[in-house]
Each structure stands twice: as C-alpha cells, then as structure tokens.
Amino acid sequence: MKIGLLAYHAACNFGAFLQLLSTVEYIKKQGDEPHVINWIPNDFRKDYEKRSLIEVRELYTRLQREYYPLTELCLTAREVAVVIEREKIDAVIIGSDAVLQHHPFRERFHFPCRRIFYISHPTSDRMYPNCFWGEFLSYLKHPIPVAVISGSSQDSKYYYITGCTKSKMKKSILAYNYMSVRDDWTQKMIEYLSDGEVVPEVTPDPVFAFNNNASHWVPSKQEILDKFGIPEDYLIVSFKGKKSVDQDWINRFQDCAEVEGLACVKLPYADAQSFGKVSFEIKNAISPLEWYALIKYSKGYVGNNMHPIVSSISNGVPFFSFDNYGISKVNGGETNGESSKIYHILKQADLLENRVFIHASNYVAPSPEDVLSKIRLFDVKKEMSFALGYFSKYMQMMNQVYSALNE
C-alpha cells in the first residue's frame, strides 16, 4: 500500500523531524511504501525563513532529501490532490504535530496595553481550511481513506469558533476515517466542533516509539562525545529566551552541578537562539538525530519545549520542565496551563512535580538547588513504566489506523 504523509516535514524543528521519521520507518516495517507529501505553502516557507538561520535551513533541506521519500513540491490543496492521484497513493496519514490548528479572530486580537492593540495573522497551515484539515479531498476524482494521528491544536481558543466555520470544521472532522489527538485540550476542541459526535482518543506522540521504529539512525554515545567534545557525565540546559530563568540562575545551577561531578551543556533550538552561557555549548546547526542522542545519553534535561521531555521519558532520562506552552487565562480565569501538551503528558505520567508553568501570573522560578535535587532524586522506574505503557498505546493506535485505512 502507498501511504501519503502530511505533516510539518519542512519545519526547522527537531521534534517535527523525529515524529515524521518515526512514522516513515514504521510504515516501511509494515512492508508498505511511505510518500511524504511535499506541501509547503508560500507563507509558511517565508515564516520559517524569518525565524531560522540559513545554515539551519540548508541542513534541514539536506536531511529531508536524505531521510524522507519526498513527492514533488505542492503549494496548494489542488496540487496535493494532483500528486496523490499521480503517485497512486492509496491512503493518507496526517500528523503527528500541531496539525489541528485554527485561531479565531477573538484569539488573534491582542491588547498589549490599554490603548494599543494588534491582530496577529497566523500562516495558512495554522488556519482552517488547509490540507491538514483534508482540504485536498474535495479535489480528488476518487475518495481515499484519511487518518489523523496524535494531532494538536497548539492551544487554540476553540470556544471562540462558531457559526459557519464551526459547521464546516465539523464536516471536515466527520470525513476522516480515523482521528486521534495528542492532548486533552485538543480532544475537547474536537468534541466541541463535532457537537459531541467525535471524541477522539488521546494517543502518544510518535517520538515515544522512535527507539523502536528508527533507532538505527541514532548515533552512538561515543560518536556524540567525540564530535562535540563534551564530558561523559553531563546535564542538558536549554532555555528558549529569558522568560524562564536569568543568567544568574544558570550560573548557580552550573556551580551546583559541578559539585555533583556534572558538566552543563547548552542545547540549541532549530528556530531560535538558546539563552544563557554555560561551559559547553552545542552550535545551532545540528541534526535532529544528534539532538536526540545528546538528550538520550545525558544525565538529565532542564529547560523548555515538549520534545526534549518526550525524548527524556523515552530514554529514562531525568528532567525538569519549564513549561512554555499553554494558555494562562481561559474565559478570564487563571489556569495552571492545562491546555499545555507537556501538562497532559506529565499528568498522565504522574510527574507534574518536575514541571513549572512559566506563564502563570505568579510565576517564580524554582531555585537551582531545588531543580538539581529533583533531577538527582528523579523516579526513573516510574518514568520507564510510563514510557512502556505509552509505547503500547502507540502500537494500538497504529493498528487502529491500519484497520481504518484498509476498510
């Protein structure tokens, strides 16, 4: 069977690359033929060109060609449909990642201060309709089955979606043969949009199955230590901006870590500069496979973003998450960032004590000493038990996906 894949394959993003590569390798193991549909809307491309260094973009372009079975370039939903028919693709899997976004006008209307406001303009991949929402289906001469796996709304304020848009989105949801989501927030969104007709299961990110699906691509520990010139016992420190901690906090954390015989290594972001100075720094243009390996072989991860946490859990690595996702206020009420995908995972894993929500109005960074203590006393057994259970859920999801695509 030829299976088309629609995801954020062109994003300069470590997690997006690993998710899709995991799915590609899973399909190959089933004896089927994956085709990564090369859909890159112009506004999406321009957005990433603004936010990523040229050396990073060039690296990702090379990696995409090396690891993904790419189709020809598609700019529109109509062109995606043409490629599906020309390649004789039998079914399409959408996701994983933030492929279920729509940000209504009221969400995009911001008041940074009393007298000034601005309206944000998300790129087309983040607004309904688009190919992630199955827009290409209307251009196909013959229908094909479509599945969405572990989709995320990226904190969309879905309760503002009403009227005609809501009705159209419901129709798109009902057209899928299978659908699952990555977090409770997105599950509530789909239930709301479909008027309760679809309540998708919350399923794991494909990176939870990366070791099973694609471990042959991961560099060895010795290769990583030699290439980057880092000590054998190290902690990852990776902050996206100054919101979480300041340089003084990092200095104190590094001093505490050195007492424990641990070096601090700063891990980069593909689409932003990593904040702070530590003894060892990994430069920006590293492959997602090297990035994954650096986390896998570390003694702990401290910092922002979701996929470092997913990668840590998958490999039994202690962590402390400075959660930078989630909505701080919902309908005027304070929250603890329950819409965050990190919050959902750590709640399921019973590891919320290793997380702090940085967008809370009363946020105060935990002390470096406390964070290091959480790393040192981390319950790895609980973490690995959860990882094993989530891998089992992933395999169940993919079995259901294959059943739906073969109906």
Q: Which residue type, as a one-letter code, is found at position 21?
A: L
φ, ψ (nearest 5 deg) of residue 334 = -65, 145
Q: Per DSSP, what are the bridge partners of residue 180?
A: 201
Q: Which structure tokens are listed for 223?
A: 């290769």
CATH of 2-212+391-405, one of 3.40.50.2000, 2.30.30.30, 3.20.20.150, 3.30.420.40: 3.40.50.2000
Using an 8 Å Cβ cutoff, are 244 and 304 in contact? Answer: yes
pLDDT in tens, the chain (407 residues): 999 999 999 999 999 999 999 999 999 999 999 999 999 999 999 888 887 889 999 999 999 999 999 999 999 999 999 999 999 999 999 999 999 999 987 777 655 655 565 567 889 999 999 999 999 999 999 999 999 999 999 878 899 999 999 999 999 999 999 999 998 889 999 999 999 999 999 999 999 999 999 999 999 999 999 999 999 999 999 999 899 999 999 999 999 999 999 999 999 988 877 899 999 999 878 999 999 999 999 999 999 999 999 999 999 999 999 999 876 555 544 466 787 889 989 999 999 999 999 988 889 999 999 999 999 999 999 999 999 999 999 999 999 999 999 97
Q: Is 277 helix (H, G, I), strand (E, B) or coil?
A: coil
DSSP state of 243: S
In 107-257, the DSSP E strands lie at 109-110, 118-119, 146-151, 178-181, 201-202, 234-238
Q: Where in the chain is the domain with CATH 3.40.50.2000?
A: 2-212+391-405, 218-376
Fold of 218-376: Rossmann fold (3.40.50)
Question: Whole-angstrom Cα distance, residue 35 to residue 326?
Answer: 33
Using an 8 Å Cβ cutoff, are 206 and 174 in contact? Answer: no
- pTM for the model: 0.93
Using an 8 Å Cβ cutoff, are 304 and 239 in contact? Answer: yes
94 Cβ neighbours under 8 A, 6+ residues apart: 6, 7, 131, 132, 134, 146, 147, 148, 149, 151
Q: Per DSSP, what are the bridge partners of residue 1?
A: none
**How many secondary structure helices (H) and strands (E) does the chain include?**
15, 17
